């Protein structure tokens, strides 16, 4: 090192002081990220009538939020409203199809009238179709896009102008690990979730200057009890069996309560992305650093999944039961279905 490269003690002290200053500012920044409280906030959760959305509503209400939920089925929506009211939550429940723009406009107008300006939007409503590509029709892709992508865009467009005007707000988008990896037998779902991830990430970069934070939630499997209401194609019972077993296995899937806690915490911190559980994180990292290896593993998984196209009709999971599911292998998922309003009392 010659004399020009050598640093004087003064410059070294300046550099050290600067670094400390940056570290201090970053720590303060992190603290500021954690300081957003949900107490008294107006929070709209799409698809809050059952599964994860219902737990998010419960978690937000426990933090003092005034909560609005929606869903298409008025009966499960009313059951959810009653369950939330019973724990003392202030809750507004509005029937709405997020795939229909006019329905979303009416939803947001009604919620704003009842709760005032919206502080937080959680785009959670989602549908899933399970089966091989040869058993899927274009309408399955249209349905997935309509709910999982357009159903995320429409509510976002409705709340953005007001959030921009007020210079604050949070938009939490529930996407999926299926939006980072193309999963065999979930093609319509994966395609729509890729769209959702891209939209969510880009939107965050654009609206940050308006004081709005967009949080992309990328969950792997969660035990929400959703397989009963998912749609199955191809060899229905075999498809339902692998999907409902995967959704029930501890280690591979995370409990819906834990997922809801993580999501609400990420919303309060204003995280760019939250990806869980560990299996999903590992899969995402592996895909980024070793895409050929990931493709090979997904290819093996694809070959293990039920082959053939026994029937091209659509059936809800509850109509695809067999000796394997429900069984002890799906015990945790079946319990979640009972707890999180997935089963109508008459069923
Ligand atoms: N469960 C998992 O393992 C998992 C993993 C990764 C990501 N996710 C995502 O997490 C979110 C919640 O999943 P979940 O397991 O809780 O699903 P779920 O139990 O099936 O609940 C879905 C909710 O969305 C509502 N919904 C569906 N389509 C709608 C529409 N067009 N308009 C309005 N509401 C609609 C449903 O009510 P109605 O049917 O009455 O409309 C229900 O309240 C979804 O976006 C899902 O893709 C789930």
* Of 156 and 345, the one with more pLDDT: 156
Token pair for 158: 């409705």
Confidence tier at 35 by pLDDT (50, 70, 90): confident
Each residue's pLDDT tens digit, 189-240 = 999 999 999 999 999 999 999 999 999 999 999 999 999 999 999 999 999 9
Structural domain boundaries in the chain: 36-339
DSSP state of 146: I
Question: How far are the Cα atoms of 183, 304, 322, 328, 336 from residue 235, in angstroms, in the given order?
Answer: 18, 13, 12, 22, 25
Closest by CA to 318, choosing from 242, 231, 233, is 231
Distance 53 CA to ligand 1 centre (A): 7
Nearest protein CA to atom 37 of ligand 1, as residue: 71
Catalytic residue list contains 189? yes
Catalytic site residue from 36, 154, 189, 240: 189
* pTM for this model (two decimals): 0.92
| Nearest atom (ligand 1) to Cα of 247 | 3
Average of pLDDT values for 311-319? 89
Token pair for 215: 């949080």
pLDDT, residue 2, reads: 42
Provide the β-strand partners of residue 250: 253
Confidence tier at 132 by pLDDT (50, 70, 90): very high
pLDDT, residue 85, reads: 97
Distance 47 CA to ligand 1 centre (A): 6
Question: Which burial class, exposed, middle or buried, applies to 63 when counting CB atoms under 10 A from its CB (0-12, 13-18, 19+)?
Answer: middle
Average of pLDDT values for 55-76? 98
The total of other beta-carbon atoms located within 10 Å of residue 134's CB is 11
> Are residues 169 and 43 in contact, defined by beta-carbon separation less than 8 angstroms?
no
Q: Angle 291-294-296 (CA atoms, 0-180°, nearest 5)?
A: 110
> At the fourth CATH level, which superfamily is domain 36-339?
NAD(P)-binding Rossmann-like Domain (3.40.50.720)
pLDDT, residue 5, reads: 45
Closest by CA to 41, choosing from 69, 21, 12, 68, is 68
Nearest protein CA to atom 36 of ligand 1, as residue: 47
Mutation test residue for ligand 1: of 125, 155, 220, 316, the one with most atoms within 8 Å of CB: 125
> Are residues 117 and 162 in contact, defined by beta-carbon separation less than 8 angstroms?
yes
């Amino acid at each position: 090192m010659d004399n020009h490269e050598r640093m004087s003690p003064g410059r070294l002290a300046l550099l050290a002081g600067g670094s400390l200053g940056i570290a201090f500012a970053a720590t303060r920044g992190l603290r500021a990220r954690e300081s957003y409280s949900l107490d008294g906030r107006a929070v709209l959760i799409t698809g809050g009538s059952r599964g994860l959305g219902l737990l998010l509503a419960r978690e937000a209400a426990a933090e003092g939020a005034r909560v609005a939920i929606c869903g298409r089925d008025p009966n499960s929506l009313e059951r959810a409203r009653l369950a939330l009211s019973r724990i003392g939550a202030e809750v507004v429940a509005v029937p709405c199809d997020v795939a229909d723009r006019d329905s979303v406009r009416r939803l947001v107008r009604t919620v704003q009238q009842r709760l005032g300006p919206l502080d937080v939007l959680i785009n959670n409503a989602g549908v899933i179709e399970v089966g091989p590509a040869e058993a899927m029709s274009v309408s399955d892709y249209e349905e997935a896009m309509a709910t999982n992508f357009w159903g995320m865009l429409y509510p976002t467009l409705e709340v953005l102008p007001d959030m921009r005007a007020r210079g604050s707000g949070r938009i939490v988008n529930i996407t999926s690990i299926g939006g980072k990896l193309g999963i065999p037998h979930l093609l319509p779902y994966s395609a729509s979730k890729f769209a959702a991830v891209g939209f969510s990430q880009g939107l965050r970069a654009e609206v940050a200057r308006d004081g709005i934070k967009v949080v992309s939630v990328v969950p792997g499997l969660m035990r929400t009890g959703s397989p009963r209401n998912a749609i199955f194609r191809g060899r229905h019972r075999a498809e339902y069996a692998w999907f409902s077993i995967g959704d029930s296995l501890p280690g591979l899937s995370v409990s819906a309560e834990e997922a809801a806690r993580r999501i609400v915490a990420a919303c309060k911190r204003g995280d760019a992305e939250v990806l869980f559980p560990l299996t999903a994180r590992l899969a995402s990292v592996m895909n980024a650093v070793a895409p050929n290896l990931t493709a090979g593993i997904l290819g093996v998984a694809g070959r293990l999944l039920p082959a053939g196209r026994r029937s091209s009709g659509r059936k809800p999971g509850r109509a695809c039961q067999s000796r394997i599911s429900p069984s002890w292998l799906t015990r945790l998922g079946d319990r979640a279905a009972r707890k999180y309003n997935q089963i109508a009392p008459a069923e």
